[in-house]
Amino acid sequence: MNRLVLSACALLSGLALANAAEAAPLRHGYGKLTPAEQAALARSQHQLDVIKARAWADGHVTPWERAKIRVAEQRHQALVYRLRHA
Quick: pLDDT tens for 7-56.
555 544 554 555 554 544 444 566 689 999 999 999 999 999 999 999 99
The pTM assigned to this predicted structure is 0.62
What's the confidence (pLDDT) of residue 32? 86
Residue 21 and residue 55 share a domain: no
Residue 54 and residue 73 share a domain: yes
Q: Which domain holds residue 23?
A: 1-30
Residue 8 and residue 40 share a domain: no
Residue 40 and residue 25 share a domain: no
Residue 43 and residue 83 share a domain: yes
Domains held by the chain: number: 2
Residue 75 and residue 37 share a domain: yes
- Per-residue burial over 45-84, b = 16 or more CB atoms within 10 Å of its CB, e = otherwise: eeebeebbeebeeeeeeeeebeebbeebeeebeebbeebe
Residue 85 and residue 52 share a domain: yes
